[in-house]
Amino acid sequence: MSTLTASHGAAPSTERSFPPIGWLSTFALGCVVIGGITMASYAPRVAPLGPPVALLCAGAVLLLASWTMLARLKDFSWSSFWSVFKWAFLAYLITSGMIELAFVRDHMRGSSLVIITLMLMIFALSVPTTIAFTTARYANQ
């Protein structure tokens, strides 16, 4: 029989509380995926840049916020984080390069290509951040 607490009627949790780093980096990914799909739907024509730029900025802010929270963590399994991050980043860097090549071959140029490139950079960083953080947060338990 489990030990129950008097106030809530449930067993006490021993899981450490972390800031929403995984959520923020996942939302950053969502922003750039939506922006990238919007841009791709216009290829090879020039897409209206307002919504994709707004999504790019939102994704960048969310990813920077997640990194800021991540940098402030104490008693965190940094060795696990970096071990996972470096290989995930390599995989997503290659994937981003392949996607970039597809846009270049579809004759995307100028500011549209710059926006897509920046979105792909956020893509290549946000997924490894989410994967590595999720792995490292449970490495100490």
The pLDDT of residue 2 is 47
Instruction: Evaluate if residue 141 carries a pLDDT over 80.
Output: no
AA letter at 63 = L
Based on DSSP, count helices (H) and strands (E) in the chain, helices before strands: 4, 0
Spatial CA neighbour of 99 closest among 55, 43, 22: 43
106 CB-contact burial (10 Å; exposed 0-12 / middle 13-18 / buried 19+)? exposed
Residue 2 dihedral angles phi and psi, to the nearest 5°: -85, 155
Q: What is the mean pLDDT of residues 103-112?
A: 87
> How far is the C-alpha of 117 from the C-alpha of 60, rounded, in Å?
13
Tracing tokens 């984080």 back to the chain, one arrives at 81
- Structure tokens, 132: 């590595």
What mean pLDDT is predicted for residues 103-114?
A: 88
Write out pLDDT tens, residues 57-104: 999 999 999 999 999 998 889 999 999 999 999 999 999 999 999 989
- Look up the pTM and report it: 0.84
Q: Residue 140: which pLDDT band, with cuts at 50, 70 and 90?
A: low
Lowest mean pLDDT segment, chosen from 18-27, 76-85, 103-112? 103-112
